[in-house]
Amino acid sequence: MANTPFLDRVRSIFSDVFQVPLDEVRAESSPDTIPNWDSLQHLNLVLAVEQEFNVQFSPEEIEQLLSVELVAALLEEKRVACEVS
Amino acid sequence: MTDRDQLRQQADAAIAAGDWVEARATLETLWSAHASAGLAGFVAGRFEKLRGQFPFYPCRVAILRSFTLEPVLPLLRACAWVNRIDLSAKVGEFNAYAQEILDPAGWLYEYNADAIFLAVQTQDIAPELWDFYTEVGREEILGAVDRVLADYRQWIETLRSRTSAHLFVHSLEVPARPSRGILDAQTPDSQAEAIREINAGLRRIAADFNGVYIFDYEALVSAYGRARYRDEQRWAAVKLPMKSDAMLPLAEEWVRYRAPAAGRVCKVVVTDLDNTLWGGVIGEDGVSGIKVDREYPGIAYWNVQRALADVKRRGILLAIASKNNREDAIEAFGSHSGMLLGAGDFAAERINWMDKPANLREIAAELNVGLDSLAFLDDNPTERERVRHELPEVTVLELPHDPMGFADAIRRSPVLERLSVSVEDTERSRYYSEQRVRAAALGSASSVEEFYRSLAQEVEIAPLTPATLARAAQLTQKTNQFNLTTRRYSEQRLAELASDPAWAVHTVRVKDRFGDNGLVGVMITAARGDACEIDSFLMSCRVISRTVETAMLAYLAESCRARGLACLRGWFLPTAKNTPAADFYRKHGFELCTTTDAGTLWHLDLSKAEVTCPDWIRLTVTEESSLGKYAVS
């Protein structure tokens, strides 16, 4: 997947929420590669992304947010205004 | 790179370099500018690395709840850290609060929490007052109010009998859209009114117990905006009732209640003058040019003065540190008509051209408090930064760029919150102005003894009563200097000790010719065989160096003799702050028996040694009241 403007910010959120070093978070990082990704951490992730990008995800969308790139893709789909730094 | 990323790197670099002061200051700035659920983990994680570098206030919180709030916990921990509280939290099972309270062998009582929050929502505990209001009759509504209050009373009673933790009971929220629409506002039996009746009842129940407080969840939701707060979709999906943005205000509010209970408070607000207490620069603009009144832009500063006057009524002292000509500033207080505060409202002032850290040090010394008791208010970010780095003990109140937000920053600060206010608190400013007269008397006396005599002190010692309980607990929590063991007690724990036949809790009141110093000392003792063990012996800094401690000890010795006890025994446990009490036992003839890492144990054989009350002190002792020994209400 191409480097979307969201990818780096999403990786940084993953790193904070799951408490893994940033350089270990890759675009394809998923519940299979992040050991403490349980349902509660998933909720924490959703809330952190929502707050960061000022969006709201529906329950259907929440079920899909299962990797860094999927989160970034959905954000792009929602066409969130993004401050690229 | 964004400002946020920069601050993150800066914090990491400071931690790597071992520059703890810089690291903490950076994390505080980062959090105050960018607080969010995403950042919470980072901030809390980095603060963990500062553990041991600063005196963080430890605290364990148990949260019993009827809804999902796990996602709020990282925010809670981060908010606690920036307020210097090292908080660990455990959440009860979902909607299992009643069983958890009632089960004496469950996790709750093993967890040994300092504070327990009971977070229950209106819709969970009283569905008929939330979803079905239009379906039920007046009788059922009144019945629901009674039932809910009876349940709460039973839970609180049970909790209170099994733990001495501070209890915070969430008040119940009122719906954004009442079931009956605008009709609800027209009738006395309104839905909102029924819920508020429960909240009023909860306040009454809390008042019947020690250490039970209402956490005003209803006020929090209302201040945030009911419609903005709630998220029905998320409630249905994961039982989280609020939007992601609303979790931070809840976490912050918890900390505002937790900080005073954990003893994390400031006793003095030291304020700047120009562009903080009034708009403009007095030295340049003159009295007629500065802005403080009910009009814009003076209203911003009027609001600051209003907030400080309110804070002062909680027993917090005000002081000034300002770079100005003193006469100019004092004239402004006296002659500007919009001024709400007067020069007499300040317990100390340093209006000169010295730097702020030097002035803050002097103010702390004059008021006899530690630097960590000071909160610093200044519109100038450079001054704030300087104090943050040079005096890391001081709490620097972060202010927004716009002065219209200053007052709110004061009102939101957890270190200025109080859970209870005693007579001593509201009178504190007066005590300090009397103190200045005393200091002048000492200056004019030709010997210390003459000064003691001129004070005409009266020391009154009495067993703990329900009326003195709150102040006594407060003294154990806040007294750092003349405190032999620095053991902190909650109201609940103190009441338990006082009603235990083996223990005794006494309070000490001191009056002199300049005024009433109020309740300023506490002694906690336990009889062990033929010895009287001094568990706690402490005295407010208001009466240090006036031989009151000798009078207190003379009482203890006398009462031990009367009860046939052979000796007095007590620990001195040194801290960073209690050097004023270090020589106490030696000076009064105690012999050293043991030295350990924690401190020294001292012993006084009552058959050999005598402790006499100084003849310049009139000692009055109230023995147990006609009601007998203190009974827990």
Residue with tokens 């009643």: B98
Say whether pLDDT at B557 is over 50: yes
Query: Would residue A18 count as lying in a domain?
Result: yes
Please report the pLDDT score of residue B454 as a whole number.
87
To the nearest 10°, the Cα dihedral for B357, B362, B364, B367?
-150
Which A positions 24-83 lie with beta carbon below 8 A of chain B?
40, 43-44, 46-52, 56, 58-59, 62, 83
Number of domains present in the structure of chain A = 1
Q: What is the interface pTM, i.e. ipTM, of the complex?
A: 0.85
Say whether pLDDT at B136 is over 50: yes
Helix/strand/coil percent split, chain A, to 5: 55, 0, 45
Say whether pLDDT at B17 is over 70: yes
Which B positions 67-86 lie with beta carbon below 8 A of chain A?
68, 70-71, 74
Neighbouring C-beta atoms of residue B82, cutoff 10 Å: 22
Query: Would residue A39 count as lying in a domain?
Result: yes
Neighbouring C-beta atoms of residue B447, cutoff 10 Å: 8
Asked if residues B576 and B557 have their Cβ atoms less than 8 Å apart, the reply is no
Q: In angstroms, what separates the C-alpha of A84 from chain B's closest C-alpha?
A: 9
Please report the pLDDT score of residue B528 as a whole number.
93
Rounded mean pLDDT of B604-629?
82
Residue B420: partners with Cβ closer than 8 Å, 6 or more residues away: B470, B474
B23 DSSP β-pair partners: none
Residue B246: closest C-alpha in chain A: A51
Neighbour order of strands in the sheet with B166-170: B85-91, B57-65, B115-119, B166-170, B212-215
Rounded mean pLDDT of B142-161?
96
Give the C-alpha distances (Å, rounded to integers) separating B96 from A12, B108, B119, B129, B609: 36, 11, 11, 21, 59
Facing residue for B244 by CB, picked from A17, A47, A59: A47
Query: Would residue A85 count as lying in a domain?
Result: no
Q: In angstroms, what separates the C-alpha of B230 from chain A's closest C-alpha?
A: 13
CA gap B224, B117 in Å, rounded: 20
CATH class, domain B54-261, is alpha beta
Angle between helices B247-261 and B72-82 (to 10 degrees): 50
Question: What would the two tokens of residue B70 be?
Answer: 């796990």
- Domain boundaries defined on chain B: 54-261, 268-416, 446-621
Say whether pLDDT at B148 is over 70: yes
| Percent of chain B residues past pLDDT 70, beyond the cut | 98
Residue with tokens 């707050």: A51
Please report the pLDDT score of residue B547 as a whole number.
93
Please report the pLDDT score of residue B28 as a whole number.
94
Say whether pLDDT at B21 is over 90: yes
Q: For residue B627, is it left (φ>0), alpha (ψ between -120 and 50) or beta?
A: alpha
The 10s digit of each residue's pLDDT in B369-415 is 999 999 999 999 999 999 999 999 999 999 999 999 999 999 999 99
Please report the pLDDT score of residue B575 as a whole number.
92
Residue B247: closest C-alpha in chain A: A47
φ, ψ for residue B282, nearest 5 deg: -60, -40
φ, ψ for residue B567, nearest 5 deg: -150, 165
Residue B42: closest C-alpha in chain A: A16
Please report the pLDDT score of residue B441 as a whole number.
81
Give the C-alpha distances (Å, rounded to integers) separating B537 from B194, B422, B505: 48, 21, 10
Query: Would residue A82 count as lying in a domain?
Result: no
Please report the pLDDT score of residue B626 as a whole number.
40
Query: Would residue A46 count as lying in a domain?
Result: yes
Say whether pLDDT at A85 is over 50: no
Asked if residues B184 and B190 have their Cβ atoms less than 8 Å apart, the reply is yes
Asked if residues B510 and B459 have their Cβ atoms less than 8 Å apart, the reply is yes
Facing residue for A85 by CB, picked from B2, B40, B71: B2
Closest alpha carbon to B576 in B27, B55, B40, B15? B55
H helices within B126-279, ranges in order?
138-162, 191-207, 217-224, 226-229, 232-238, 247-261
Full domain range(s) for residue A62: 7-77
Asked if residues B269 and B305 have their Cβ atoms less than 8 Å apart, the reply is no
Please report the pLDDT score of residue B317 as a whole number.
96
pLDDT band at B445; cut points 50, 70, 90 = confident
Say whether pLDDT at B276 is over 70: yes
The 10s digit of each residue's pLDDT in B291-344 is 999 999 999 999 999 999 999 999 999 999 999 999 999 999 999 999 999 999
Facing residue for B237 by CB, picked from A49, A59, A83: A59
State whether residue B536 is helix, strand or coil. strand
Please report the pLDDT score of residue B633 as a whole number.
40
CATH code of the domain containing A46: 1.10.1200.10
Q: How far is CA B342 from the centre of its chain?
A: 26
Q: What is the mean pLDDT of chain B?
A: 93
Q: Does B229 lie at the interface with A, CB-CB under 8 angstroms?
A: no
CA gap B190, B183 in Å, rounded: 8
CA gap B82, B383 in Å, rounded: 20
Question: What would the two tokens of residue B448 be?
Answer: 């210390």
pLDDT band at B630; cut points 50, 70, 90 = low
Facing residue for A44 by CB, picked from B2, B74, B237: B74
The answer to whether the CB atoms of A59 and B40 lie below 8 A apart is no
Facing residue for B71 by CB, picked from A16, A43, A58: A43
Hey, of A13, A16, A71, which one would you mutate to test binding to chain B, going by the most B CBs within 10 A of its CB?
A16
Asked if residues B515 and B611 have their Cβ atoms less than 8 Å apart, the reply is no
Which B positions 243-272 lie with beta carbon below 8 A of chain A?
243-245, 247
Q: Is the dihedral of CA B606, B611, B612, B618 positive or negative?
A: negative
Candidates 2.60.40.180, 3.30.70.270, 3.40.718.10, 3.40.50.1000; correct CATH number of B268-416?
3.40.50.1000
Please report the pLDDT score of residue B211 as a whole number.
92
**In B386-500, beta strands by DSSP E:** 395-396, 457-463, 482-483
Question: What would the two tokens of residue B602 be?
Answer: 């001292």
CA gap B559, B351 in Å, rounded: 50
To the nearest 10°, the Cα dihedral for B49, B51, B52, B56?
150
B446-621 has CATH 3.40.630.30 classification:
yes
On the question of a cis peptide bond just before residue B414, with omega within 30 degrees of 0, the verdict is no
Please report the pLDDT score of residue B624 as a whole number.
63
Rounded mean pLDDT of B435-453?
81
Question: What would the two tokens of residue B361 be?
Answer: 């040090």
> B562: number of CA atoms within 13 Å, CB side?
7
Rounded mean pLDDT of B16-40?
95
The answer to whether the CB atoms of B39 and A83 lie below 8 A apart is no
Chain B residues inside the 8 Å CB shell of A6:
none
**In B353-426, beta strands by DSSP E:** 374-377, 395-396
Q: Does B38 lie at the interface with A, CB-CB under 8 angstroms?
A: yes
Facing residue for A16 by CB, picked from B39, B70, B245: B39
Task: Give the angle subtended at the CA of B25 by the CAs of B355 and B319, to the nearest 5°.
Answer: 40
pLDDT band at B463; cut points 50, 70, 90 = very high
CA gap B259, B134 in Å, rounded: 41
Asked if residues B124 and B95 have their Cβ atoms less than 8 Å apart, the reply is yes
Question: What would the two tokens of residue B130 be?
Answer: 């939330």
The answer to whether the CB atoms of B37 and A19 lie below 8 A apart is no
DSSP B374-385: EEEE-S-HHHHH
Rounded mean pLDDT of B225-253?
95
CA gap B89, B80 in Å, rounded: 11
Q: Which of B48-62, B285-299, B411-425 has the lowest mean pLDDT?
A: B411-425
Q: Does B377 lie at the interface with A, CB-CB under 8 angstroms?
A: no
CA gap A35, A28 in Å, rounded: 14
The 10s digit of each residue's pLDDT in B69-99 is 999 999 999 999 999 999 999 999 999 999 9
Closest alpha carbon to A35 in A14, A52, A9? A14
pLDDT band at B627; cut points 50, 70, 90 = very low
Residue B414's H or E segment, with its range, is none
Residue B318's H or E segment, with its range, is strand B317-323
pLDDT band at B542; cut points 50, 70, 90 = confident
Say whether pLDDT at A82 is over 60: no
pLDDT band at B497; cut points 50, 70, 90 = very high
